[in-house]
Structures are given as structure tokens and as C-alpha cells.
Chains A and B, each alone.
Chain A
Amino acid sequence: MIEIRLHGRGGQGGVTSAELIAVAAIHQGKYAQAFPSFGPERRGAPVQAFARISDTRIRTREKIYHPDVVLVLDASLPKIVKVTAGLKEGGIVILNSSHSEKEVREMLGGYKGRLAMVDATKIALEELGLPITNTTMLGAFIKATGLVEPSFMEEALRERFGRLAEKNIKAFHRALEETKIYG
């Protein structure tokens, strides 16, 4: 079972991202859960969402304390939230960032583990006209983890966004190509 923690800000669609990861995995025939960090939602405040993917039935209702994957939607978050907290050994941090690998590792407090990065804000602005990175970062997620086939994510995006889906799918594909993986 793979456990995923998403960091975003309220209103950026982090919960939607977690849900889309689960939906795509379930469409692919896997088992999955997605859930928000339960509580009042505050626009702009740092928020988390969670997902689990497994080849067998998932039977747990615990929160996620030791994720295998951390997905960070907002480039400014690592400065104020310890996004690597509890990350499993061998786990990966997937970040939206325009900085260099060295700068990001410093920002993450000297993080030495596996890292994937993409300038999702730039892609989202170009493709969607909005700095909303939740669907773009799904491309980075798939490139970095290979946990879900892109076609099932496209299906999930179409289901969710209807006429807005194509733009989001384009942003998603650009991230699939542009995401760089280190270590």
C-alpha cells in the first residue's frame, strides 16, 4: 500500500487532487482511498489531503503519518510547513517549484532523499490562465511514481471537469513531460 500526503492552500484544489488520484486508481482496477484533513476549510491557509493506493482491499481508517509520497501544490509552502515530516525512508517529495534542485533541497532543510520538481504554476498560467496547480501536479505525480496510468487519470479528469477537462488534461500532459526527477 502506498500512502500519499498532499499539501496545498485552502481553495487550490488539493482535496480534488487527492480524489482524482483515488478515482484514477480505482478506474484502473486498484483499491484506493482519498480523504481531506477533516475540519473547517479556510481559503489560503495551509491544508492537507490524503490518498492511499493498493493492489488489495484497504482496511484502515487511520490518518496518514508516514507517507511514501508527498505532493506539494504551492511553491511557497515549504517555507512555512515541514512538508517532509514523517516521510518514509525511500519516499519521494514532488514539488511545484521554479527554483533549482540545490535551492529546493536547502528550502527543505537539507533534504537528501528523492525529489521531483516541475514549475506547475507556470504551466497552469499558460494552459489554464490561472495559478491553480492541482491538475498540473497530477502529471508530476504520475511521472514521479508511475502509480497510475495516464489514460485513467485523463478519464478521471474528464469525469470531473466536463467542458473544462481538455485544458486541464493539456496542463497535466505538460507536467508529465516537464517534471524532473532527482535521486
Chain B
Amino acid sequence: MGKRVAKEVSIAVADAVAQCRVDVISAYPITPQTHIVEHLAELVNNGELDAEYIPVESEHAALSACIGAAATGARTFTSTSAQGLLFMYENIFIASALRLPIVMVIANRSISAPISIWNDHSDVMTIRDSGWIQTFAENGQEAVDLVYHAYKVAEKCLLPVAVNLDGFIVTHVVEPIEMPDQELVDKYLPPLKMKYKLDPKKPITIGAIGVPEIYTEAKKALDEALKASYKVIVQAWREFERLFGRKYQPVETYKMEDAEVGMIIMGSLAETAMNAVNEMRKKGKKVGLIRFRLWRPFPMQDFLKALGKVKALCVVDRAVSHCSTGGPVGIEVRSALYQSNKRPKVLNLIAGLSGRDVTVEDFMEMFEMTYESISKKPKFSYQIYGVKE
């Protein structure tokens, strides 16, 4: 039924990718993604993984190689962080528009300048609108499980999937992880069979020009495909639960049932925030936590259901959207609420930039600020938390 191992999360993620029997890996090393691709290179070199590892001169080329390989029907993998993701940028949109089931792990890291190798979500938020399915892991186990899930979903929907895990805070931590048996992974993930692929025996064109007469329809088609992926994503998690015994859903909640104040955060800091929820509840404050595991397609109904009856909501963003109306998650949440009858107050804070530690005390202070915002309207639509004066 699997094996409980003690592993650095990056190594476990690479092992999971190998268990998915990928055909082609192409990547350029960048901190903090490095250990993932190094370990995959090792597995290929040692003959433990029968895959083509294409070393390239840049991330632009890495994703290009994956696009080409995926178009021929190969199961592909790449991984990057921060500047690497930005260097891939034009190809990101092409991968989704061409409906190629590429899986990419993003070891989330801040974008320069100033140069930073530490964690926040400023890299992935730049591809928010790209048409990729995007999931966020909270810990090592989830990172590994989201890799299997990513291939299942990508290949059923013919859409690329980005699995996000926090650089260092998750990637570089040794922790216990259940690694499933290969047979189980094989059962979950049958070989990739693409109906339309590049094949000299049966030539087709992929990526032709989209004249004004068809471009709109092409964009609509991608939009519909991403919308329709929601059901596949949920079903793939249900099947995962049946086979592997671990349950996942688009939105995770913690003590939201009777909460009067909620907090939303994505990624691994939700674990720390849970401790703050426990501490606040010891003081008699009914608070709860919401975490988006699925970010694209945005899980609107799950989110509205998760809200319960909160009077106020603290949205903790891990990226700045300079001089807009909030952080990326804050903007999304406010927009989603506008389409419903629920109207909790929303306090949007930006925290944990470039690996700045966000402690239990910090989260408790954020909860207190949110309580205050119920009776006293904040003077800002978003605020960067914890700035040293």
C-alpha cells in the first residue's frame, strides 16, 4: 500500500514524477527548484528512469522542448522558479492554447529585484491568466500527491497543470511522506494516448495562425476547456482517495463551521495559520481558515460554501499587484463575493514576501485587525503587512 519515507520534499516530488513514467524532462536549474531536476537527472543517468532528459540553455528552451515533446504525445515534465518562470513566459500561454498536457512544478520564489531566492507567490501570480490549471500544496505529502493528480487531470483535459509548492519552506524540508507503490500509480495513471498529435505518418498542423475570424473562438474554446476541467479535477481527487486513501478537494477549510471571522491563505503558511486559529479559539474568538488548493479554474462555488456565515474575511496574499485594488487573491475574492449575496468585510493583507517569516503571533494580529475592521472601516483596500518603519 506504499511506504512511509523520510525524504527531502524535492526528492520525493522527483520520485513521484518518475513514478508517473514521464517520457521527456526538460528543465534549467534554478534555486529553489534545483534538487527536483537534479534528482530526476540522476534517475535518468542511473538508468532508473527510462526518460529523455533534455538539458537546455534556458527556461525558454525548456518549455519549448516540453511543448514539442508533448505535441508528439509524450508525457512531459518541467520545473522552475521565479526568473525562470518569467523567462518561459511567452511559451506558457502557447502551452495552454495548444492544449498540451504538460506538468510543471513551480518551487515558488520571489521575483527580482531586489535579487531574492526566498519564497512568496509573486512568480506564479504572473501566469494567473494563462489558461493553466493551477494547484497549491500545503506540505510535502500534498506536493507529491498533486503531481500524480496533475498528470491525471492534464491528460484528461488536454491542459497544462502547474503544481505550486513553497520554495525552501516546503521544497527543502525533510519530512515523513507516504510514497505509493508503483502498481497503484500505474493503475491511477494509464499511458498517455493523444488523439491529435504530431506524427509524420498522419500529419496535422498545431499552432497555426489565428486570424480575426477564429481567434475569438479559439480563446472561447480554451476558456470552456478550463471551465470544464473543474469536474475532472474533482473526479480525479475522488479516484485518488479511493485508490490512495487521502482526500483532497478544491477548497480546504479549518474550523469554519461556526466562524465569525475567516482567513484565506494559499500554500504552506496555512499550516502556521492553523495554529493561530487554535490560539484565537482558546481566547474565545471564533475564527477559521480557508485555503485554496485549486486556484485555476477558480473554485467559485466551493469558496462561497466555505465562507459559512463569517462577518469578516482576512485575505492574506503572498504577492503584490502594485496599486491595483488588492493582492491577486484579494482581488479575486472581492470579485467573487460581488457575484453572490454574501458580503463579509474583506481585509486584504500582503505578507511573507521573499521568505519573511509569518509567525503564529503575526496571524493572530491579522485576526485582531480583521475583528477591528468589522466596526471600523479600514482606510486601505490592501496593506503590506509588517513593513519596518
How many A-B Cβ pairs are below 8 Å?
68
Contact B175 A58 (CB under 8 A): yes
Using an 8 Å CB-CB cutoff, how does the interface string of A31-56 with B read, 1 for contact, 0 for none?
A: 11111101110000000000000000
User: Is A100 close to B, CB under 8 A?
Assistant: no
Task: Given A23-B6, A26-B6, answer yes or no on A61-B271 (Cβ-Cβ < 8 Å).
Answer: yes
**With A and B bound together, what is the CA distance between A38 and B268 in angstroms?**
16
**With A and B bound together, what is the CA distance between A62 and B270 in angstroms?**
11
Q: Which residue of B lies closest to A65 (CB)?
A: B359
User: Is B192 close to A, CB under 8 A?
Assistant: no
Task: Given A26-B176, A38-B118, answer yes or no on A61-B169 (Cβ-Cβ < 8 Å).
Answer: yes
User: Is B272 close to A, CB under 8 A?
Assistant: yes
Give chain A residues whose Cβ lies under 8 Å from the Cβ of B176.
26, 31-32
Give chain A residues whose Cβ lies under 8 Å from the Cβ of B8.
19
**With A and B bound together, what is the CA distance between A26 and B174 in angstroms?**
10
Contact B175 A36 (CB under 8 A): no
Q: How far is the CB of A27 from chain B (nearest CB, A)?
A: 6
B174 CB contact (under 8 Å) in A22, A40, A59, A62: A22
Q: How far is the CB of A166 from chain B (nearest CB, A)?
A: 21
Q: How far is the CB of A5 from chain B (nearest CB, A)?
A: 14
Contact A38 B272 (CB under 8 A): no
User: Is B285 close to A, CB under 8 A?
Assistant: no
Interface residue ranges, B against A (CB under 8 Å): 4-6, 8, 32, 117-119, 139, 166, 168-170, 172-176, 268-269, 271-272, 274-275, 355, 357-360
27 A–B contacts from the bound complex (CB under 8 Å): A22-B174, A22-B175, A26-B5, A26-B6, A27-B6, A31-B175, A32-B6, A32-B174, A32-B176, A33-B173, A33-B174, A33-B175, A34-B175, A35-B173, A36-B172, A38-B32, A38-B119, A38-B169, A38-B355, A39-B117, A59-B274, A60-B271, A61-B166, A61-B169, A61-B170, A61-B272, A63-B357
